[in-house]
Amino acid sequence: MVNYPSRLSLACVPTPFHCLERLSARLNGPRIWIKRDDLTGCVSSGNKVRKLEFILAQAVTSGCDTLITAGGTQSNHCRAVAISGAQLGLKVHLLLRSDVDADPVGNLFIDLLSGATINHYTPEEYSNLESLFAHWSSHYLDLGATPWVIPVGGSNAAGLWGYIAVAEELKHDFQAANINPGIIIHATGSGGTQAGLIAGVKLHNLDLCVHGYAVCDNATYFDDKIRTDLATWKHEYSVDIDVDLLPVITNDKYLGPGYGRAGPEVFDTIRMLAAEEGVILDPVYSGKAFYGMLEEIKSGRYANEKDIVFLHTGGIFGLLAQQQQLQF
């Protein structure tokens, strides 16, 4: 039995789990299954709300009334915080890194609609994020409010529990489908999903190897980040597993031109999967990872696998913000 900390009910879970039959048959490789965490909610869709169930339980228990967090202009995490904060009656303040003139579309549109207070910072200003967090925290304390800072991507010790819980959900999914997949693939950005899955697979005794596909930074970065986060989590929750022995596997071959920017091969993949399976990927995260997975399947990397799982982490609002990249 895994001892979860307290949790709010914000996500529509368990999410569906099914096989991509036509795609798998056409590729003639392993059967590809998909875990639909793009369906954790409508405007709260994606992986971030999974982490927020645990992060915000902690925040609410501590008596916080103001959430402060940060990310890119099209941050799915910031959008999930904006929506969840509105659902809980908390004030939300977002610090956004805006390197382009920010059109109020996609995630930013939802942020604005949900009434979040927003500050835009240049990449240079944003590079000192810790001091921005400190500045706004003391601002709210001075006003007599109780702020709660959530790190980028919600990737802290509390947030890890979100994907530890997903490992448990997957165990039931595999039993129901009567399969025993050896690999799960997903897009990795701030590392919390990957760290949570790695810990969850261990805690729930799954025979499953977690392959994070980087959308920014290289494998060494993720190794460090995830090992640090796992060590913090172990310490904070006194978990009795040797986190140093856990495997951290990151594929950094498919991040393309950089964070938030994708090449035509990613948009082609998005178009293909939408038409062939009715599943919508995004150009910042899931589309890059899915494209990478297809390339690896074609190159024979997963030839020994009967079944593999793609974790769809969401991101549709990021696609809507880049619609002009697709011509019809």
The length of the chain in residues reads 328
Residue with Cβ nearer ligand PLP (47 or 98): 47
* Separation of alpha carbons 141 and 161, rounded Å: 29
CA distance 25 to 202: 31
How far are the Cα atoms of 67, 94, 158, 162, 202 from residue 5, in angstroms, in the given order? 20, 26, 8, 10, 17
Q: What's the min distance (Å) between Cβ of 222 and ligand PLP?
A: 9
Give how far Cα 116 sits from Cα of 36, 105, 135, 286, Å: 27, 15, 18, 26
Using an 8 Å Cβ cutoff, are 268 and 293 in contact? no
Q: Which is nearer to ligand PLP, 46 or 292 (CB)?
A: 46
Q: Which is nearer to ligand PLP, 53 or 282 (CB)?
A: 282
Closest CB 92 distance from ligand PLP, rounded Å: 17
**Minimum CB–partner distance for residue 173 and ligand PLP (Å):** 19
Our CB check for ligand PLP shows the closer of 43 and 187 to be 187
Contact status, residue 225 vs residue 260, Cβ threshold 8 Å: no
Q: 264 — alpha (psi -120 to 50), left (phi > 0) or beta? A: alpha
What value does the CA radius of gyration of the chain take, rounded to a whole number of Å?
A: 19
Q: What's the min distance (Å) between Cβ of 196 and ligand PLP?
A: 8
Which CB sits closer to ligand PLP, 31 or 312? 312
Nearest to 80 by CA among 41, 121, 54: 41
- Encoded tokens for 266: 């990613």
Least CB distance from residue 40 to ligand PLP, whole Å? 11
Smallest CA-to-CA distance from 32 within 22, 46, 42 is with: 22
Q: Which is nearer to ligand PLP, 73 or 194 (CB)?
A: 194
Helix or strand or coil: residue 172?
Answer: helix
- On the 0-12 / 13-18 / 19+ scale of CB atoms within 10 A, 295 is middle
Interface residues with ligand PLP (CB under 6 A) are 46-48, 76-77, 153, 155, 187-194, 282, 285-286, 313-315
Hey, which residues are catalytic here?
Answer: 75
